[in-house]
Amino acid sequence: MIRRLAVPAVLAVVAALVPAAPAAAVAGRVVVSATTPSNLTFKIAEASCPAGTLLLGGGGRVIGGNGVVQLSHSGPRADGRAWWAMAYAHAAYRDGVLITATPWAVRSWAICGTGVTGHSIVHTEYTTMPGQTTGTAKAYCPKGRKAIGLGGSAHKSPFILDDLVVDADLGMVTVQWNRAREAVPGDYADVTGYGDVWAICVAPVPGQQRAYASSPFDTADRSVVAYCPAGTVVHGVGGALVGADNGAKFEAMMPWTTSDSVSVTASQMAYGTSTPWQASALAICAA
C-alpha cells in the first residue's frame, strides 16, 4: 500500500483499450492506457484492467515538462486492479539560469490477462535514514512462481528512481533510488527518502524470460528498446541507469508500439552530469 501520497492528484481516466496481437502469450491479454491532463500539478495516470482480468504489468511516461520532470513511480494500485504512473518536476539551475517545468502530462499502461495461475503481487517498501544517499528494496516471488511484471517507486523529491530490474531467474525484483545531485552543496543533507517495489508473480508460463538492451556509455540523453524473442510478447516493463552520478532520470519506461518491445527514455537532470552513463530497457516476455 502506498501510504504517503497525501497530496492532491489529478487522476487520469482510461483513454484506450487496445486488444493484444493474436499471438498473445496469455489468454485474454489486453493493454489499457490512460493519460492525465497537461498542466503543472502533481498527477497520477491510472489505467485499470477490464473486469475479469488480472494485472500482469505496466509502464509509464512523462509527456512534456521542459526536461525537468521525472518518472518517479510505475507500479500497481494498492488493490492490484490498476497501474499507476506518477511524476514530479525537479527544477534546477543550468549555467546560472533556473530551469522550470512547462505544462506536462503522465501516461500509464496496464498489461492485463486471464491465462495465468498462482497470481500474486508481492510488495516491499524501504525508508532511507536522514542523510543516506541511496536506498534499495527487493521483492521475492513465492517458491514455484516467477515474476511476469515488476513495479517500483521513489517517493519524495529529490530522490530519483534509478533501477527497476528483475534477476535472470525471474525470482527477485529490485528497485534502487538515489538522491539527486545537489544544485548547491548540502541542499539535501538531511532529507529522508523512501521507495517501493512490486513483483507480480505467476506459476511459470511458456517462454517466460527476461530481455535486456543497453545504450552506449556517453553523456547524451538517450532512448533504448529491448525486444522480446520471436513468438513472445511483453508483460513486464523495467529499466536501469548506470554511471549517471545521480544526474540523470527516467522519462519513460513503457511497452512500445508493438507488443514485443519495451522502450526506456532517460535524460540528464537540469544541472546535468558530465560523466558517461548508460540507460537500459528490460522486458519480461512470455509466449
CATH number for the domain harbouring residue 63: 2.60.120.690
Across 65-69, 72-76, 117-121, 239-243, least confident range: 65-69
Contacts for 33 with CB less than 8 Å, ≥ 6 apart: 14, 15, 16, 18, 47, 107, 108, 109, 110
- Residue 6 confidence (pLDDT): 37
DSSP type of residue 230: T
Residue 183 maps to a domain: yes
Kindly give, in sequence order, each residue whose CB lies less than 8 Å from that of residue 286, ignoring residues fewer than 6 positions away. 25, 26, 148, 205, 206, 207, 208, 209, 232, 233, 235
Question: If you write DSSP's letter for every residue of 24-53 in order, what string do you get?
Answer: -SSTT-EEEEEE---BSS-EEEEEEPPTT-
Q: 5 lies in a domain?
A: no
SS3 assignment, position 175:
strand
Cβ atoms 104, 62 nearer than 8 A: yes
Domain span at residue 164? 10-286
Share of the chain residues as helix, strand and coil, in percent rounded to the nearest 5:
0, 55, 45
C-alpha cell at 59: 509502464
Identify the residue with better confidence: 200 or 18.
200
* 4 found inside a domain: no
Nine cell digits for residue 127: 525508508
In this structure, the strands spanning 30-35 and 13-19 are antiparallel
Cis bond upstream, residue 185 (ω within 30): no
Give the mean pLDDT of 160-181. 93
For all residues of the chain together, what is the average pLDDT?
A: 86
Q: Residue 207: what pLDDT? A: 94
Q: How confident is the model at residue 184 (pLDDT cuts 50, 70, 90)?
A: low
Whose cell is 525470482? That residue is 171
Does residue 254 lie within any of the structural domains?
yes
The fraction of the chain above a pLDDT of 70, given in percent, is: 83
Choose from 8-17, 172-181, 220-229, 263-272 the range with maximum mean pLDDT: 220-229
DSSP element (H, E) containing 137: strand 134-140
In a domain, 1, yes or no: no
Residue with cell 494498492: 78
- In single-letter form, the type of residue at position 33 comes to S
Least reliable range by pLDDT among 6-20, 206-220, 272-286? 6-20
What integer pLDDT is reported at residue 233 of this predicted model?
Answer: 95
Q: Identify the band that residue 96 occupies on the pLDDT scale cut at 50, 70 and 90.
A: low
pTM of the model: 0.88
Q: Is pLDDT at 88 greater than 90 in this prediction? A: no
The total domain count for the chain is 1
Q: How confident is the model at residue 194 (pLDDT cuts 50, 70, 90)?
A: confident
CA distance 33 to 48: 8
Instruction: List helix spans (H) across 91-217.
Output: none
Q: Is the pLDDT of residue 192 over 80?
A: no
Per-residue pLDDT averaged across 116-132, rounded?
A: 89
| Residue-level pLDDT at 100 | 82
Is residue 2 assigned to a domain? no
Whether residue 248 lies inside any domain: the answer is: yes
User: Residue 257: how many CB atoms within 10 A of its CB?
Assistant: 8
User: Residue 260 domain-assigned?
Assistant: yes
